[in-house]
Structure formats: structure tokens, C-alpha cells
Structure 1
Amino acid sequence: MPAPTALVRRPEELAEAVSVPLPDQNIDDELLLDAPTSETNTLQPIAGDADTEMHIDEEGRPRFAPAKASDGPLRIESRKVPIPPHRMSPLKASWPKIYPPLVEHLKLQVRMNVKNRAVELRSSKFTTDSGALQKGEDFVKAFSLGFDVDDAIALLRLDDLYIETFEIKDVKTLQGEHLGRAIGRIAGKDGKTKFAIENASRTRVVLADSKIHILGGFKNIHIAREAIVSLILGSPPGKVYGNLRTVASRMKERF
């Protein structure tokens, strides 16, 4: 049997065989995207409106044009604040003092729905503040809880005021005469203890049966709540007065 002979090709055939791609080779792999040769360190502004144009300062930080003031809210929203039955008569009596801040200051549309026992608020095209509707709702809700109109108006003018509500049973489970005595310790004779807590902590306190509402700043609410909790747990008013006197002197030193 003759020995196998080696296959000999000419140099031209070898060159053609090398240049032909294999059957399972992906031709797309041969497509390469060349990176841009010029490197730029500065960002180019995007063509468009003048308020969206971006410029680069000397340190390479982007600088944008100031935003334009919006003409009004993006959409008209409405809120409904329910009023308890026992606060409807005070609402009707104080209505001439309630709606002017909402209409003139916050630029809201407001009406009192007597049938549904609610105050309805709605933003309009004249409303400029995005949080006006929430401020108006907090103002009306504060009045519905029992605060005076003058105290509730502070929610419209100051941003760091809050309302905290808790019940006596959240502190200690009391029933019957024990609950009545706890409420009496908080109020005091002719409201003396309640007024002392308000003046020392610079807050406003409303006693609505077993519920207690406190209006004021965050730290001030904490001071008033600690005093009320001490009275609920049975501390004598004299000891609470002493603690309030100490806290009031510390607050004066801070200011």
C-alpha cells in the first residue's frame, strides 16, 4: 500500500485560505467602532430654551440658569375637612375670621358645607404656594379640634408648628372617677394648671374629654407632654410646677 502523500499548496492558495472566514465565525465581530480621536473636557450646552442651557465654569462645574417662577399649580386640587357636631356653632360664629386668611393670604377657594358638616377647600389659578392647600387644611383642622382662631392662624405663618394628639388611656388605663380626677389634675382649679403648662412650654393645650391636643413646636410639645403625663400618673401639681419653673428658666437662658 503506497504511503500517503502530503498535500502541497502554492503560496497564493495559502493566502486565500487564510483570508476566508470560518463557517461558524460571526462576521459582526469584525465590525469595530472607532473611538473619537478628539477628547473634549468640557460639556457642550444642549440647544434649546435659554432656561435649560448649561454652561461650565472655570472649575468644570455646570451652571444652570435660574428657574422661572410658576404661574400657578399644575392642577386644581380640593380637600374636605370634616367638622364635629359640637364645633359647628363655633365655626358659624367665627366664620368671618376664618375665611379671610384662607382666601386673601393663601389664595384658596373655600366654602362651608352645612349639610355635610365640612369645610371644603380648593386651589385655583391664583394660588402661588404649592403647600397652600395643606396649610389651609391644617388651619381648619386645628380649629375643629378646639383651638382658637388666633392660635390656629399661627399654623399659616410659621412652618415649624405641629399638633400632637393623645388620650389619657394611652398613658394609663383609668376609668370612672379615676379618669375624672386625672382630667381635674391636668386642668386645675379654674384652668390654673393648664395655663401654667401653656405659659411655661409656650404651647396651647386643649382638653377634650379624655383626649388632649397640644399645639406648638417640637421641643415645646415634648415639655408640655411630659408635664401632662406626670399629672396623669399621679404626681402632685406642686412638683410639676417646680419642674416647669426649671424648664422655663432654661428656655429663657437659651434665647
Structure 2
Amino acid sequence: MPNTEYLKIPRERVGVVIGKQGIVKEEIENATKTNIEIDSETGSIAISPREDTEDPLSVWKTRYIVKAIGRGFNPEIALKLTSDDLILEIINLPDYVGKSKKAVLRQKGRIIGKDGRTRDIITDMTGVNVSVYGKTVAMIGDMERIHIAKEAVEMILKGARHKSVYAFLEMKSRELKIKEFHSIAKEENKLL
């Protein structure tokens, strides 16, 4: 079928994509005007556009929504990817720490932090949703904010102390607020 995208997600996440009585799958299909076919046994998924689809990126967006759910996000957060302003970024931990299960586990622990504190700080300071699942760290946000969150995660992966990462995030958060303030002020001046 033309324009059909195929992907595979972990089998244990297939139920989340489908949702209770198929409600999540239906919600994704309605939001993106696509058809999703799921093989529950293998985790294989086929996504194709519906005839009433006007968005040429609908299949691509659906692929990323499904991929985000496969990487541990809840469907509500994954559905934010229908916005043209948001993207999904995935960091593959073995690319940074090698294939050792212990190393991957240790780094996941450092990124999540005690009681999820580090992950929450990254989310609070950048506005980027972060999911640590399997051997990956996935992020949903706008390009600029994802760049900052990714840099923070990479700092952790390279052995930086949490204190240094938090200081970096605080500085970047201030810069973002100043930038947003200036763009709002500029817009208000245009209206005057």
C-alpha cells in the first residue's frame, strides 16, 4: 500500500497503543486520520492514511505517536506529537555506555534519579517530557527545548555530577524565559 509506514514496538507496549476496548488506537486514528493495523503477537504495526486525510504528514506523525508509546510514554503525552511544533527524540543508551546491561542500568538510574527527581527536574526546567524505558531515553518537546534536555542527559551519561547538570538546566531555563519575554514584548509592541 502506498504511503504505508511500518514499525515495531515492544510487545508489552502493544496493549497501551490499543487501549481499553481499542479506545487509544481509535483516538490516535481519529486525531491523525490514519488507519493502524497491529499484530499483537509480534508488536508489528502498519500505518496508512485514510481517504479523508489532508495532512501529508499524518502517517509520519502517527508513526511517532506510536513509537513514543512504545518508548514508555502514556498516550496522552504521545498525542501531543500531532502538533507540528513538537518532536520525538530518542537516545539509545548503548551508543553512550556500551552493551553492558549493568552500565545501561546504572545510567538509567542516574537519569531518573532518586524517586524520579532528576527526570522531573529535566522536565520542569525544559518543558520536555522524558521517558526512560528499556535501553532508551525518549523526549517529547519543541526543538530548542529538546536540544537542552538532550544536552543535560548527555552530561549525565558522560559522568557529570547532578549538581552541575541542575546548574546547567537552571541557566538554560533562565535564558528561555528571557527569550520568551522578549518575543512577547516584541509582539505587544507590534500591536501598539
Q: TM-score range by the shorter chain?
A: 0.7 to 0.9
Whether 1:78 aligns to 2:4 is: yes
> Is the alpha carbon distance of 1:253 and 1:119 closer, same or farther for their aligned partners in structure 2, counting shifts above 3 Å?
same
> Is the alpha carbon distance of 1:241 and 1:132 closer, same or farther for their aligned partners in structure 2, counting shifts above 3 Å?
same
Structure 2 unaligned blocks of 5 or more: 181-192
Whether 1:204 aligns to 2:149 is: no
Name the count of aligned residue pairs: 179
How far apart are the structure 1 equivalents of 2:92 and 2:149?
Answer: 14
Task: Give TM-score, length-normalised by structure 2.
Answer: 0.79
Aligned counterpart for 2:62 among listed residues 118, 136, 140: 136
Partner SS, residue 205 of structure 1: strand
> Is the alpha carbon distance of 1:175 and 1:121 closer, same or farther for their aligned partners in structure 2, counting shifts above 3 Å?
closer
Whether 1:117 aligns to 2:38 is: no
Q: CA deviation at 1:241?
A: 1.4
Q: CA deviation at 1:200?
A: 0.8
Q: Higher mean Cα deviation, 80-89 or 241-250?
A: 80-89
Task: Give TM-score, length-normalised by structure 1.
Answer: 0.61
Identity %: 23
Q: CA deviation at 1:253?
A: 1.2
Aligned counterpart for 1:253 among listed residues 166, 171, 178: 178
Q: Which residue of 2 aligns with 1:160?
A: 85
How far apart are the structure 2 equivalents of 1:240 and 1:118?
Answer: 37
Q: Which residue of 2 aligns with 1:18?
A: none
> Is the alpha carbon distance of 1:140 and 1:130 closer, same or farther for their aligned partners in structure 2, counting shifts above 3 Å?
same
- Pairwise CA RMSD: 2.5
2:23 maps to a residue whose letter is P
Q: Which residue of 2 aligns with 1:97?
A: 24
Q: CA deviation at 1:127?
A: 2.1
Off by >6 Å, runs of 4+ in structure 1? none
2:53 maps to a residue whose letter is T
1:238 maps to a residue whose letter is K
> Is the alpha carbon distance of 1:107 and 1:225 closer, same or farther for their aligned partners in structure 2, counting shifts above 3 Å?
closer
Q: CA deviation at 1:176?
A: 5.9
CA contact (8 A) 1:197 1:224 kept: yes
